[in-house]
Structure 1
Amino acid sequence: MTHSANEVMVLAAKAARGGGAPPAQAAQFGSAAVLHLVTGRAVDDLDEALAALPNGPILSYPLGIAQIAEQAVKGIARGIMEGGDTSLARSYVESMPCSARLDADGTLTMEVGKPALRRNIMRISLSHDTYIRWSAFAAALLVAESDASRQSGAGAGVSNDND
């Protein structure tokens, strides 16, 4: 089944949040997941990253990229990417807003002032099983329905608005 790129990105980010990733890293995972899938890379890489939470590449890749970017001199940053040249690391690099490349030896080179060129992604094929698995991770964000949760502010509350 196909889904919009935005729907897949949001679902992947919610799955990462449900697995314990902080919001910024979850958002980066969502962006990387879209590029990972659209380039035909294995969904198993994404599932393994989700299963590794609250540790693993969803936290380590963005941190490693940020550490390399902080060392930029005259707009060029270069360093060894933790985890080397994996397909998921490549997807993270390709999802960056600046021009970047990851060499086979794990060397990440970024031109931090040069925007990345992107193609417009409309639809992504995502299996029903993957959608269900990621939705189960995302469901961990939901608050259980109870009187106590409603009293503490969960839910939409009572609305007399009849729009």
Structure 2
Amino acid sequence: MKATDVIADGFGRIREIVHEVVEGLPTEQLNARVDPAANSITWLVWHLTRIQDDHVAQAAGLEQVWQGGGWVARFALSLPTGSTGYGHTARQAGSVQADSGELLLGYFDAVHEQSLRFVRGLAAADLDRVVDERWDPPVTLGVRLVSVLADDLQHAGQAAFVRGLLERR
């Protein structure tokens, strides 16, 4: 198995979790917060999608799906266009709401497809390309993709946990 196949498989696992979490939930549960400082399922899925979109698009030299696919307008959030959720206050996180699970999944699936197209087009040697020199050591494409996978899996797991809490109420 090629390293890029392993990365693609990881992105597929994130997709499975996100769909399991979002599908069938009413909007009020997607946007619910278990306490005033907690993140909602909407915020968690939006954030993990924004991080994947931002980081993969940058590494691939592509336009982010968020801007290029019209998702900024569809979500109509009161946040700067480039916001990914990183460093959000509880108030900012609470402002991220979706009108439906279909909206969340539509954006997620569009980003997932762009990420898979990019990853499937890579050769193993591409993973050694430096994509961020602001760190010591500089970040390679392989490290960046693993970082995205790790972050997304954590947030997908958090969203699954929140769904479980909400369903038990």
Asked if TM exceeds 0.5, the reply is no
Bigger relative contact order, structure 1 or 2 (CA pairs below 8 A, ≥6 apart): 2
TM-score under structure 2 length normalisation: 0.29
Give the structure with higher Rg (CA): 1
Q: Which one has a larger percent strand, Structure 1 or Structure 2?
A: 1
TM-score under structure 1 length normalisation: 0.29
